Amino acid sequence: MQSLDAELEDARQLSVADLADAIESIGFECTRCGACCKADAEDDHTATVFPDEVRTLEESDRDADYDWRDVARPMPYGLSTGDDGLEGETFEWALQTDGCGDCTFYEEDESGTGACTAHDDRPLICRTYPFSIALAGTSQPMGEAVDSVALDAEHDAGDEGGVVRAHECDGLGRDISREDAETLARALKERAVRELEEAIAVRDEYAPADPDPGEIVVHDSEGAKRVDGTPLEESE
């Protein structure tokens, strides 16, 4: 397996045109069903959000008084359940959820059509759903991969990193314009690069925090943080 640094270089070399070709061949049009924004039968909605994306979402609605915890929650993976709820150390942030486990920014109209209330500022993982690129260190969105396309150059070399994956979504298989495919391809490449940059920064910044019982520490690319997004060192 390649190092994260080598994977990052591969991500930076990805061709937007090749990615767009792959997206076009699979096909996609959002049907606004909301499935990618809602909890499934077993788990709450979980979508990775970067620290700078949290801050952008904090300011996405000037009429709302959002703070960090309104936007993001600690990624639940790796946490244990103590007397007062989840505790321990985890890596990265997930978009906050409501009482039903759906994304806090998701709402439906009377007809059941879904909408994102922070659509213009939504994170990269939301902008690129239902697609991902098979690179070590990148996040896979909710939903099983149901289709994939190998990029020509990488496929010839037998490189798994040259695979574009499509995950469960009712919008797959629908016609997509070349312009929309290229827009999605650019965002998909940006996401792959950002996720690897974040993973490398987390690796380089990480130091065990040994939180007290009932506390959570989140390690992201900026260091260790409390659940309210403040640096751990500022609260000590």
Domain ranges of the chain: 1-28+130-205
pTM of the entire structure? 0.88
Pure H helices in 46-112: 51-58, 68-71
pLDDT confidence of residue 207: 92
In 3D, which of 183, 172, 191 has the Cα closest to residue 33?
172
User: CA-CA distances (angstroms) from residue 158 to 11, 150, 167?
Assistant: 16, 9, 22
Low-confidence ranges of the chain (pLDDT < 50): 154-160
Given phi > 0 = left and psi -120 to 50 = alpha, else beta, which region is 25?
A: alpha
Give the CB-side neighbour count of residue 84, counting CA atoms within 13 A: 7
Rounded CA-CA distance 4/222 in Å is: 18
pLDDT confidence of residue 145: 87
pLDDT confidence of residue 164: 94
Rounded CA-CA distance 103/101 in Å is: 7
- State CA 7 to chain mean position distance: 18
pLDDT confidence of residue 141: 72
pLDDT confidence of residue 63: 66
pLDDT confidence of residue 59: 87
